Amino acid sequence: MSSTEYLRNYGLANMKAEVGWQAGATGNGVTVAVVDSGVSNSQADLVGRISTASTDVVPGRNTPYVANDSHGTLVSGVIASNFNGLGSVGVAYESTILSIRSDISDCEDEDDDVCFSSSDLVRALDFAVANGVKIINMSLGGDGRLGSAFEAALLRAVNSGAVIVASSGNDGEANPGWPAQYAVDPRFSGAVIAVGSHGATNVMSDFSNRAGATAVAYISAPGEDVITGCDGTSCWRINGTSFSAPHVSGALALLMDAFPNLSGRQALAILLDTARDAGDAGTDIVYGRGLLDLANAFRPVGTSSTPMADGGSIVAESEPGSFVGPAFGDAFSRQTALGTVLFDSYDRMFAVQLGGAYPTAPSRSYQAAPFEPSRTATTRLALPNGGRLNLTASQPAETPEPIAPRYDLTAAPWLGDEPRQEAMLDLEMGRLSFATWQGRGGARSPFDGAAGDGFAALAQADHAARGAMRFGSLTFAAESGGGDRRMPLRRVEAEASSYSRATLAWRGADGGLSVSIGGLDERLGPLGAFLPGGSDFALPSRTSFYAVGGDWTLRPGLRLIGEAGMGSTRIEGRFLSMDQAAISSNWRLGLLTGCSMVCDRISFTLSQPLRIESGTFSALLADVPVEYFDPLTYSRRSFSASPSGRQIDFILGGERRLWDGSSLSVQAVASREPRHVADAAPEFALIGGWRRRF
């Protein structure tokens, strides 16, 4: 925010008051009792903010209104100064101040400008209760308990539902003064908060009494160089926990305005639970629970749930690292149909966009896979009648690379921190062949290269088996596989996906053609999604896919290659489903030719990664009510599963054999509408590689 009156007091930004304002909270309808030295009813910034019920409880005086520079006026300004272009703005700038003047003039300590008697404070508390006030600010304190009469009045106040915000004191001591120390008295537990002071750098003020024995009920708020009490030409710059306490009172007013179902105790607990940690980790004897932070306080606390029309609810929290399959592009992120409500552990209602639980898949990385030296052992066994049995196993030649490179989610989101290992058994007996493979650490199935691998590869199999039979130039093959899903620092999702595929392939002298049909089951979400199975946001799916691929020699040295696939995916989630199957497609078309000048082979490929072509998601969700306490209604929402754009990749590649037997390869890649997002800026990559066998 750039308002001069907002910027004038750093405390507002320090406590992130603007987050409450952006949520629509201003303190409107909330009254804060300020037990202090009275208030000026002519202070420009407080016009319209002072309750006409304001009073003076000292017997025989009856002068509730005082000069502009009174302690009570300055405290009230921190809470409720108008947002009117003048002076400074209060934390809860539309709240109402019930000023309860309680000060006396005959202070025992000549250094005190304002002092109070416990009997007058008793009358002040009872007056606040009688007027139904739920927030009582007490920017005052002393060295000892305030007596049984005060404690009885305090008990009456907290039993009425009021909470007391008490400044910790300005003696720089290890413990707060009184009444702040009542914050940990079991009789008042949860209804009294002790407030210390910090400055713009979030360091505890030298003068502020520390949390000490009240640490569990102590919070720190801005109390140094606070700007308040402005008139037409000047403002007061003041220090003290007297002015950190009203920051907390204003914060409570914002919470109770935004969430009118909250009790005072609940609002107080939220501020303590969401305080920004400072000093030693966790609750400590200096900062107590930490620094006042309304950004945290205006977020859901604890487990949040979204009500369902069937009377149940879903846990409205997505798992870290979740994402939908790349084929959906921006379908989830650009929709607005999934707007609904959630309730946190304090039963506060928040508007929420559930589409945020389905982040777009990580960007594809064009970085070539790092070279990983490996040891490979192969055993070959000749069988009768020309049969062969091959067993091959490989593992890293050195120790595995550091864990950090494996956490590149953009390159391979399913990798964990296992070393790459794989083994394959291959049996051939005449026309028949059978192979079984198992791998881990990101090893890829050797069977992915068949037509349709745009779908089968999504299973991210760590085990697979394939059987085939040859009939001259025709080969019929069937395979199946499955795999766990691994994400860094997460539990393994066992048997998360599986696939099966049948392929009929023809191979002639000038080319070949293959046709595939198969099925893909994904427990965590469709088409490569990672939505953990225990989550209410998981989208179990089954895809039937069909693919055709082939290559043909157009003339010597010039080969045409192509592949196209289509899928039909059915999805049934906890609350999000599809009435009809989603149709998806991918294709690739390329030319490969020799090159007699700078390279041996050059290729040009045009391709479209897997993309949803049609399909509609729907959900029956609660509507966001107009008023907070309106009864919930439900409506059916729908949105297209197709992304806004269509990614097309242009790839120019070349390969050159070198004199020492090694080879050098280069690829230039240009992507139009990357990640299937319309109007997205084109992306470019240049990839080089060198390979040599030893």
- For the stretch 225-240, pLDDT in tens is 999 988 877 889 999 9
- pLDDT score of 460: 83
679 annotated active-site: no
Nearest one of 356, 337, 306 to 536, comparing CA atoms: 306
Q: What does each C-alpha distance from 290 to 99, 220, 410 come to in angstroms?
A: 29, 6, 36
- pLDDT score of 16: 98
Same domain, 597 and 686: yes
3-state secondary structure of 573: coil
Answer whether residue 195 is part of any domain.
yes
Per-residue pLDDT band for 385 (boundaries 50, 70, 90) equals confident
Same domain, 275 and 420: no
Answer whether residue 310 is part of any domain.
no
Task: Return the CATH number at 291.
Answer: 3.40.50.200
Per-position DSSP letters for 619-634, written without gaps between them: EEEEPPPSSTTSPP-E
What is the reported pTM?
0.79
The more confident residue out of 91 and 535 is 91
Per-residue pLDDT band for 416 (boundaries 50, 70, 90) equals very low
- pLDDT score of 361: 74
Same domain, 666 and 552: yes
- Give the phi and the psi of residue 423 in degrees, each rounded to 5: -145, 145
Please say whether the beta carbons of 134 and 256 come within 8 A.
Answer: yes
- pLDDT score of 655: 85
Task: Tell me how far apart the alpha carbons of residues 574 and 59 are, in angstroms, rounded to a whole number.
Answer: 65
Answer whether residue 309 is part of any domain.
no
Please say whether the beta carbons of 131 and 286 come within 8 A.
Answer: no
Answer whether residue 13 is part of any domain.
yes
Same domain, 289 and 385: no
Task: Tell me how far apart the alpha carbons of residues 157 and 151 are, in angstroms, rounded to a whole number.
Answer: 10
Q: Is the dihedral of CA 46, 49, 51, 52 positive or negative?
A: positive
pLDDT at 363 over 70: no
The residue-averaged pLDDT of 508-533 equals 89
Note the pLDDT tens digit of each residue in 472-489: 999 999 999 998 877 655
> How many domains is the chain partitioned into structurally?
2
- pLDDT score of 581: 92
3-state secondary structure of 330: coil
Answer whether residue 229 is part of any domain.
yes
242 annotated active-site: yes
- The residue from 45, 70, 71, 197 that is catalytic is 71
Note the pLDDT tens digit of each residue in 261-272: 999 999 999 999
Size of the chain, expressed as the number of residues it contains = 694
Task: Tell me how far apart the alpha carbons of residues 2 and 23 are, in angstroms, rounded to a whole number.
Answer: 18
Please say whether the beta carbons of 58 and 127 come within 8 A.
Answer: no
Same domain, 554 and 425: yes
- pLDDT score of 76: 96
2 Cβ neighbours under 8 A, 6+ residues apart? none
Q: How would you label 205-225 residue by residue, b for 16+ Cβ within 10 Å and e otherwise?
A: bebbbbbbbbbebbbbbbbbe
DSSP H or E run through 4: helix 4-8
- The residue from 54, 119, 205, 242 that is catalytic is 242
Task: Using the 3D structure, point to which of 278, 297, 316 is the last residue of a domain.
Answer: 297
Least confident range from 254-258, 316-320, 569-573: namely 316-320
Least confident range from 116-130, 138-152, 199-213, 310-324: namely 310-324
pLDDT at 413 over 50: no
Note the pLDDT tens digit of each residue in 545-602: 999 999 999 998 899 999 999 999 999 888 888 888 999 999 999 999 887 667 788 9
Based on the number of CB atoms within 10 Å of its own CB, is 72 exposed (0-12), middle (13-18) or buried (19 or more)? buried
Nearest one of 390, 507, 402 to 446, comparing CA atoms: 390
Note the pLDDT tens digit of each residue in 648-686: 999 998 888 887 777 888 889 999 999 999 999 999 999
pLDDT at 415 over 50: no
Task: Return the CATH number at 480.
Answer: 2.40.160
Parent domain of 206: 4-297
Per-residue pLDDT band for 316 (boundaries 50, 70, 90) equals confident
- pLDDT score of 471: 92
Mean pLDDT, the chain, integer: 88
pLDDT at 58 over 70: yes
- What token pair was written down for 78? 């921190």
Task: Using the 3D structure, point to which of 297, 332, 358 is the last residue of a domain.
Answer: 297
- pLDDT score of 367: 47
Q: What does each C-alpha distance from 330 to 312, 355, 358, 640, 679 come to in angstroms?
A: 29, 10, 10, 10, 12
End-to-end CA distance of the chain: 64
Answer whether residue 308 is part of any domain.
no
Task: Using the 3D structure, point to which of 265, 297, 329 is the last residue of a domain.
Answer: 297
Answer whether residue 318 is part of any domain.
no
Same domain, 183 and 277: yes
Answer whether residue 363 is part of any domain.
no
Please say whether the beta carbons of 413 and 487 come within 8 A.
Answer: yes
